């Protein structure tokens, strides 16, 4: 078998530099929510969320295998994507912190199957899990969108290591 000479000269990718490079891609900020086996709400901040298909309506997101919430989401048949609004930085920080993420003092409303929808978000996608796939140190979650709700609130964004607002550019 012939080896590819290009592969032999490529340097290893430095994880810190890769993270810095990927940080230049601005993303929205979401909190994924579900119910644990005990029926208690659980959530985790994620910006690894993307649309996958419009027909059928599918989304994809990923979660680190070592996350404290990994097994809860891996075993959940339903979850919600809460797309945060610009004034919800504290919500993002709460659910991004390590350890138990309490819903105390986080106003929320039950969605399909009782899954918590965090009040005041820019929009919501209520989903049912279709499949999971291994992805290095993460697992990919593919889900069918069962119901959506859009609020007229500006979304929160994240890039270059910090939160950002979103401004629509007038290109005319």
What SS3 class is residue 165?
coil
Residue 29 CB-density burial (10 A; 0-12 exposed, 13-18 middle, 19+ buried): buried
> pLDDT by residue (tens digit) across 117-157?
999 999 999 999 999 999 999 999 999 999 999 998 999 99
Q: Residue 120 and residue 88: Cα distance in Å, rounded? A: 8
CATH 2.30.30.170 assigned to domain 28-158? The reply is: no
Dihedral Cα 141, 73, 160, 54, nearest 10 deg: 30
- Quick one: tokens of 103? 């819903």
> pLDDT by residue (tens digit) across 51-63?
999 999 999 999 9
> pLDDT by residue (tens digit) across 3-49?
565 556 788 888 888 888 877 778 899 999 999 999 999 999 998 89
Residue % of the chain over a pLDDT of 70: 94
Residues 6+ apart with CB under 8 A from 51: 58, 59
Higher pLDDT, 152 or 1: 152
Q: Residue 23 and residue 27: Cα distance in Å, rounded? A: 9
pTM for this one? 0.88
The pLDDT value given to residue 5: 59
The pLDDT value given to residue 1: 53
Question: Distance of CA 144 to CAs 9, 39, 58, Å?
Answer: 42, 22, 5
Question: Distance of CA 85 to CAs 9, 52, 96, 120, 162, Å?
Answer: 45, 22, 16, 7, 15
What SS3 class is residue 32?
strand
Per the listing, tokens 């929808």 go with 117
Q: What are the domain boundaries of the chain?
A: 28-158
């Amino acid at each position: 078998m012939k080896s590819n000479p290009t592969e032999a000269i490529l340097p290893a990718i430095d994880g810190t530099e890769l993270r810095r490079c990927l940080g230049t891609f601005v993303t929205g900020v979401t909190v994924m929510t579900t119910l644990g086996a005990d029926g208690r709400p659980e959530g985790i901040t994620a910006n690894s969320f993307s649309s996958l298909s419009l027909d059928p309506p599918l989304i994809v997101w990923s979660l680190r295998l070592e996350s404290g919430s990994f097994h809860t989401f891996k075993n959940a048949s339903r979850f919600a994507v809460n797309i945060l609004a610009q004034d919800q930085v504290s919500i993002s920080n709460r659910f991004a912190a390590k350890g138990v993420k309490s819903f105390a003092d986080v106003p929320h409303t039950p969605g399909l199957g009782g899954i918590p929808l965090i009040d005041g978000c820019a929009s919501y996608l209520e989903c049912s899990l279709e499949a999971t796939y291994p992805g290095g140190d993460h697992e990919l979650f593919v889900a069918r969108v069962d119901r959506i709700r859009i609020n007229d609130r500006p979304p929160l964004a994240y890039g270059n290591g910090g939160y950002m607002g979103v401004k629509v550019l007038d290109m005319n």
